[in-house]
């Protein structure tokens, strides 16, 4: 089950594909943003979701809402995934799974990230949530609807 709307998003620092590392409270202070957690690079559902975020990226960019994908894959895997699918947003590597767990986005028995997407407001409170392992494109549609209401 995902974090509840209105909850303050847990702070984190994670390595990023092109920005070195990202610290939520420092690098994204005062910014609304999208965090989407996904199971694994190069799998069919995760590729579909990443490409949907890519295809709809202009809508987020135009509203100055950065998008960040997070999984337990290595930074090297993320870099290949990002390049292979021309993803215009950062992928963050949570190798330990601590951030996934803090966001209630870790499947307990297998320690793999679940598919959950958060919209954080400028104060980094959870403003919207979409979850469901098989609704990969739906996560993007839900986020677009939330930012346009």
Q: Spell 91-119 as b/e; 16+ CB within 10 A means b.
A: bbbbeebebbeebbbbeeeeebbbbbbbb
Give one word for 60, left, alpha or beta, with left for phi > 0 and alpha for psi -120 to 50. Answer: alpha
Query: In angstroms, how far apart are the furthest CA atoms of the chain?
Result: 39
51 part of the active site: no
Q: Which of 28, 33, 46, 143 is catalytic?
A: 46
Decide if 143 contacts 118 (C-beta within 8 A): no
Q: Are strands 126-131 and 106-107 parallel, antiparallel or unpaired?
A: unpaired
What residue has token string 């930012």?
A: 147
- Local structure of 94: helix, strand or coil: coil
Task: Give the catalytic positions in this structure.
Answer: 46
């Amino acid at each position: 089950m995902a974090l509840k709307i209105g909850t303050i998003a847990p702070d984190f620092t994670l390595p990023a594909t092109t920005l070195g590392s990202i610290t939520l409270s420092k690098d994204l202070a005062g910014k609304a943003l999208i965090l989407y957690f996904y199971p694994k690079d190069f799998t069919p559902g995760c590729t579909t979701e990443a490409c949907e975020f890519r295809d709809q990226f202009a809508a987020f960019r135009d509203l100055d809402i950065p998008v960040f994908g997070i999984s337990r894959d290595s930074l090297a895997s993320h870099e290949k995934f990002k390049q292979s699918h021309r993803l215009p947003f950062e992928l963050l590597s949570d190798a330990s799974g601590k951030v996934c767990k803090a966001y209630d986005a870790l499947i307990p028995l297998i320690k793999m990230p679940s598919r959950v997407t958060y919209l954080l407001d400028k104060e980094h409170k959870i403003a919207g949530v979409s979850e469901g392992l098989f609704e990969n494109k739906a996560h993007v549609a839900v986020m677009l609807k939330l930012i346009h209401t």
